[in-house]
Amino acid sequence: MLSSYLESIRTGFAAFVGVGVLVLLPLIALHYHRFGRVEPRRAVVLYGLLAYGLVALALIFLPFPSSLVCDGETMLSTRPFQWVTDMRHNLAANGRSGLGAVVTSTAFLQQAFNVALFVPLGVVLRKSYGRGAFAVVAIGLGISLAVEVVQYTGNLGVYPCPYRIADVDDLISNTTGALVGWMLAPVALVVPAVPHPDASTAPPHTVTVPRRFAALMVDVVILIVGTHLVFGDNLWWLVALTVAIRVVLPSATGRTPGGWLLRYRLGRADGGRANPPRVFLRELLGVTGLVTYAAVAPSEWWFALDLCVLAFVVLGAFAVPVFRRDQRGWPDLLAGTRAVPAAGRSRTAPLAPVPR
């Protein structure tokens, strides 16, 4: 029995990995549409529920039968706690008794598994979404009932008859598991609470990562075309042009060409004008630093060092900001800068601090 469970768990987790990759970009798009960023606690809970749901479904329905003989056997049990009677008969037939025999019997382990299967559901419903005991019991019962209906109908008609018994004891065990999860939720420290939408949404004057990334692409096109047409792909000219576009221009005007097109400027953390040292530090830790490193680093340097530099820039400038309300990455945080919408703002007028 344990080996079949482990195989189902592996199958469910493999399905989660595949589905998780497929829904990653739609999830990011949905979060940005609703909140203007990816709220990490919401994302963790959503992906956790996805993993839990797929593994649970695999445990409930797998393995699918390769062939099925419908002999008219009743695949429905409507007598509550029938498992207790079946366990007693089995123990008596095998001459076993005592607590050890009970807790190691197949019938008891099956019901314990059914309880444990729904414990995570109760934990998440209370800890992450603040549901009360009645709501958790109702949701657990509803989901368990839906599973039993699917099983009794041969997976909604896929099979000519059920291959697993639809059992009222499963309803009782699953619902009990959800309630146990509700009671255990306060000590489930690894499960985050989903914040209120108002605490998840980026402030209206925040320049989002997709907007900044689009502006960067504009700058990159200018750098590539300018270097190729004018300077013949010379890396040092690429560095010089990058410094001019990404450091000199923002220091003088607050904007790169991409920032001008996407209507935002580079400012201090409070929204005021960023001085040249701040801009220089930001770019040294960001795109300009990466371009300079690519130009000066000898080809025989460690590949691992190249990956570390690339990861620092990509994660720090684009991955970390996705999860922050103020959309600031490591370069902005260390330099005390951030992107500020240009429309309707004075170049030197400070803004209220943006929540993290």
Supply the pLDDT for residue 349. 41
Supply the pLDDT for residue 86. 87
Kindly report the pTM of this predicted structure: 0.74
Record the tokens describing residue 175, joined without a space: 């619902």
Supply the pLDDT for residue 300. 64
Euclidean distance between CA atoms 300 and 307, whole angstroms: 14
Residue-by-residue pLDDT tens, the chain, 356 positions:
566 678 888 888 888 888 888 888 888 888 888 888 888 888 889 989 999 999 999 988 888 888 788 887 788 889 999 999 988 888 888 888 888 888 888 889 899 999 999 999 999 999 999 999 999 999 999 999 999 999 999 888 888 888 888 999 999 999 999 999 999 999 998 899 988 888 888 888 889 888 999 999 999 999 888 887 776 667 888 899 999 999 999 999 999 999 999 999 999 988 889 999 999 999 999 999 999 988 887 766 677 788 888 999 999 988 899 888 888 999 999 999 999 998 644 333 444 454 55
